[in-house]
Structure 1
Amino acid sequence: MDTNLHTEISKSAALFERAKSFLPGGCSRNTILRKPHPIYVERGQGCHVYDVEGVRRTDFANNVASLIHGHAHPAIIAAVSQQMRKGTAFTVGTEAEIDYAEHICSRNPAFERIRFVNSGTEAVMASLKAARAFTGRPKIAKVEGAYHGLYDYAEASQTAKPDNWGQPERPSSVAVSRGTPQRLLDDVVVIPFNDVKRALELLDEHRDQMACVLIDVLPHRIGVIPAAEDFVQALRRWTEQNGALLIFDEVITFRSNFGGAQQWYDAQPDITALGKMIGGGFPVGAIAGRAEVMEVLNPLNGPAPFPLSGTFSANPITMVAGLTAMKLYDPQAVARLNALGDRARHSIGEAIKTAGVPACVTGQGSMFRIHLSADAPANYRQAYLSPEKHAFLSAFVGHLFDGGLLMVETGTGFLSTAMSEQDIDDMAAVVLVALRKMKPYL
């Protein structure tokens, strides 16, 4: 495939050397890094990206789940271009914000009010701060290993390791960033995933101080394993009985249904954090929830218990792009994409059987993850990869890349509506080749 391999490496290497002169590590986000250097994109179209040498790859990363319609969708380009001629950001309000708020709230009855921010990290941070403002309590609970962005409280335990993660019945609150204050970590109660008994026992110890429980019902870093119905229901009951709030992080999973992955469950959160795909390809975040809870953000009757502003929050470019993208992502589009997800997981499963390797595939909706182990993980500790296993996974994802596929470094794929059944079948064929290359090491 790579007939210009030498040229590609030379161009990419040169760009990386330039980058390292000005950017720590040569990047602004670590996810672009790969050995021996990143590959730099020239353009994207539909479900394909073209690098600086013109090599085309099918994009199953989609900027880590943020591009639900792939690249350069004509309707989004047209809507954004029209808005750009009017202006890109204002100190005063725009009707575009109201239009988009109305649309997002119409997709889920749990979204009685909404506020826009600029990223998924901001959305989670705002959700936690709103819960503290509403309850007057300091502590939050989160699932061990679950990723919720950069906010100190939300990131606790997401990189825990065997030497510091504590006992299974009492996971430790472990810092990600050096210098994180211990007093902050003490306000984070870490609960095991899908373990109702242990989770409730830990929550009970802090019932009078707990502001909220934060969960992702299809957590990426735990293995793209769905939260069990009884686990979600138990957390919903506990929060209701103890005056705490239930928060769903749907920054990634909102793609799963017309109103989000929460519609898989017979439970409704108090607050939902949104981001990624709702921006139509632009930076975005949002916090949506019960009107009573969201009232802590209301400044009309005096100082708000939780003041929230942002220079670029609800900027009209993002609002217009997001509204266009989400109108296109109607129930029919959701159903079609989830059907492609079923096809992808089935086809990968068949490739695993054909290759005869100890591997498996997990996921739901339009998401999948390939594991280089015979059994799917049940929690973060089972999903954790030793350095040796991590090296195997990196090699496997590298083979996929060489075969013309862009995947998230964890072996995860996020589909876009620009994909066809043929794209899925072609992907499965590349996966088969990559698995056969890995067979001697598994």
Structure 2
Amino acid sequence: MNRGDNFRAAELSKSAELYQRGCKVMPGGVSRNTVLRSPHPLYAERGEGCYVTDVEGVKRIDFANNMASLIHGHAQPDVVAAVIDQLHKGTAFTLATEAEILYAEYLCSRNAGFEQIRFVNSGTEAVMGCLKASRAYTGRPKIAKVEGAYHGLYDYAEVSQTATPENWGSVDSPSSVPVAQGTPASALNDVIIIPFNDPDRAVEILDKHADELACVLVDFLPHRVGLVPASTEFVRAVYDWTRNNRALFVCDEVITFRSNYGGAQQWYDICPDLTAMGKMIGGGFPVGAIAGRQQIMDVMNPLNDPLVFPLSGTFSANPITMTAGRVAMELFNPRAVENLNLLADRARKLIVEAIALADIPACVTGGGSIFRVHMKEHPPENYREAFMDKKESLLIKTMLDHLFDHGLIMINTCSGVLSTAMTDHEIDILADVMLSGFRKVKELL
């Protein structure tokens, strides 16, 4: 790849120069694919509240919030002050700290189903830990997950998140499709794929593997499946199936925990066995957490003899993350949750109005403080309906470029997540730019 050598002279900005340097020392010039843009990434200089200023001095409204990991935007003063205080005391020790206990006590107080909690360093780790704990507890090898749902980098968790019409198989028996080349067939064989929001088909598929499944992994608002909330019927059917078949119900709330005071699971009349969390519970620092029923969490108990599921990590529960996360989450109290969700409701309403004014076949989905724009006339109900063909991908790219050029940073699926630093002012700007973007996209139809 020689993109770093192909810039026109006029493009040799600070960001272009940085990218040239990056290409020499990192594959593709970056460590995160999500920051790539054509012809090169832009590099942040600083962030404050809901605004980010790049190294060229351009200021933009941040509707990406580091892929949904910032609930209060950038450099929230109380979080910054608490972290600075902890920095003077140290960043990591081969000793336990009270910061871990304080934060564990606080997070468990937000959800009655969180009887115990264990901290790790990322959402991927949290999901991986939930799946391994499920196997350890049940003694079963297989897991089931929703087609198209993203759950991080773990071989088993990532299966079928990028399936296409050419390889996704029958809707009655979806194929287990690898993401990374070289994924072992044994991993694929141990992952059962179920369709989203289709309770009858899901249960029929699960029944075929009832004696083998350790757990069913569910995201209540799966981003790549279309950012459509899981229906009550779907959640209840899968949850009841796990109760009746001695499997665990595991929910991925790495993104969706922001949706309610105790997570999106509080939208439903259920109590998951295990919950994976991450992103915004770190207060801007790397974090993951596994929470759930004490009886199941005990498989991670290092005092067990023999050990059932050893779990450790050099930076797990480091006092910087524990302090930043606790302060950030204390600020995200019930009123803050409600206000942010109301602001997102307003954003979705104004986007719907913009679609109507532009008279374009588009729609908006989402829930809580998250939204996604589709270049489809009707909201998708599952991954196959949400799948973007080349034409829609072009339209979404056109919209994303338009939004970015007009000062809005979005997630690359044309999704946005709000922060408590935002007000009606930023939502009004979003609506105006969306309207002009829809009109530009219409010219390509």
Normalised by the length of structure 1, the TM-score is: 0.98
- The aligned residue for residue 436 of structure 2 is 433
Instruction: Give the counterpart of 1:268 among 268, 271, 279.
Output: 271
8 Å Cα contact 1:7/1:53 also seen in 2: no
Question: Aligned with 2:443: secondary structure?
Answer: helix
For 2:295 and 2:188, locate their aligned partners in 1 and report how far apart those are by CA, in whole Å: 29
8 Å Cα contact 1:297/1:305 also seen in 2: yes
How far apart are 1:304 and its partner, in Å?
2.6
Instruction: Give the counterpart of 1:314 among 312, 317, 320.
Output: 317
For 2:23 and 2:389, locate their aligned partners in 1 and report how far apart those are by CA, in whole Å: 29
For 1:285 and 1:364, locate their aligned partners in 2 and report how far apart those are by CA, in whole Å: 22
Instruction: Give the counterpart of 1:214 among 217, 220, 226.
Output: 217
8 Å Cα contact 1:361/1:369 also seen in 2: yes
Instruction: Give the counterpart of 1:73 among 65, 71, 76.
Output: 76
8 Å Cα contact 2:128/2:157 also seen in 1: yes
- The aligned residue for residue 356 of structure 1 is 359
For 2:233 and 2:295, locate their aligned partners in 1 and report how far apart those are by CA, in whole Å: 26
How far apart are 1:302 and its partner, in Å?
2.0
Which string of whole-angstrom CA distances, capped at 9 and with x for unpartnered residues, describes residues 115-147 of structure 1? Answer: 000000000000000000000000000000000
Q: Tell me, yes or no, if structure 1 residue 330 matches structure 2 residue 333.
A: yes
Q: Tell me, yes or no, if structure 1 residue 158 matches structure 2 residue 161.
A: yes
- The aligned residue for residue 85 of structure 2 is 82
CA distance 1:324–1:8, change in 2 (3 Å): farther
Can you give the 5+ residue segments of structure 1 that lack an aligned partner in the other structure?
1-5
For 2:134 and 2:304, locate their aligned partners in 1 and report how far apart those are by CA, in whole Å: 19
Which string of whole-angstrom CA distances, capped at 9 and with x for unpartnered residues, describes residues 264-289 of structure 1? Answer: 00111100000000000000000000
- The aligned residue for residue 142 of structure 1 is 145
Give the partner amino acid of 2:188. Answer: L
Which string of whole-angstrom CA distances, capped at 9 and with x for unpartnered residues, describes residues 168-222 of structure 1? Answer: 1111000000000111100000000011111111111110010000000000001
How does 1:6-405 map onto structure 2 within 5 Å?
10-405=13-408
Which string of whole-angstrom CA distances, capped at 9 and with x for unpartnered residues, describes residues 373-427 of structure 1? Answer: 1111111011111123212211210100001000000000000000001111111
How far apart are 1:8 and its partner, in Å?
7.1
Question: Aligned with 1:370: secondary structure?
Answer: strand
- The aligned residue for residue 3 of structure 2 is none
How far apart are 1:7 and its partner, in Å?
7.3
For 1:385 and 1:365, locate their aligned partners in 2 and report how far apart those are by CA, in whole Å: 24
For 1:291 and 1:7, locate their aligned partners in 2 and report how far apart those are by CA, in whole Å: 60
8 Å Cα contact 1:8/1:53 also seen in 2: no
Question: Aligned with 1:152: secondary structure?
Answer: coil
Which string of whole-angstrom CA distances, capped at 9 and with x for unpartnered residues, describes residues 248-305 of structure 1? Answer: 0000000000000000001111000000000000000000000010010112232331
For 2:10 and 2:44, locate their aligned partners in 1 and report how far apart those are by CA, in whole Å: 15
Identity of aligned residues (%): 63
8 Å Cα contact 2:13/2:56 also seen in 1: no
- The aligned residue for residue 3 of structure 1 is none
CA RMSD, 1 decimal: 1.0
* Corresponding residue pairs, total: 437
Which string of whole-angstrom CA distances, capped at 9 and with x for unpartnered residues, describes residues 22-62 of structure 1? Answer: 00001001000011111111000000000111100000000
Normalised by the length of structure 2, the TM-score is: 0.97
For 1:7 and 1:250, locate their aligned partners in 2 and report how far apart those are by CA, in whole Å: 44
Give the partner amino acid of 1:345. Answer: R
Question: Aligned with 2:368: secondary structure?
Answer: coil
Question: Aligned with 2:149: secondary structure?
Answer: coil
CA distance 1:8–1:432, change in 2 (3 Å): farther
For 1:49 and 1:14, locate their aligned partners in 2 and report how far apart those are by CA, in whole Å: 20
Give the partner amino acid of 1:409. Answer: N
8 Å Cα contact 1:68/1:416 also seen in 2: yes
For 1:21 and 1:389, locate their aligned partners in 2 and report how far apart those are by CA, in whole Å: 34
For 1:318 and 1:8, locate their aligned partners in 2 and report how far apart those are by CA, in whole Å: 38
Question: Aligned with 1:233: secondary structure?
Answer: helix
Can you give the 5+ residue segments of structure 2 that lack an aligned partner in the other structure?
1-8
- The aligned residue for residue 4 of structure 2 is none
- The aligned residue for residue 410 of structure 1 is 413
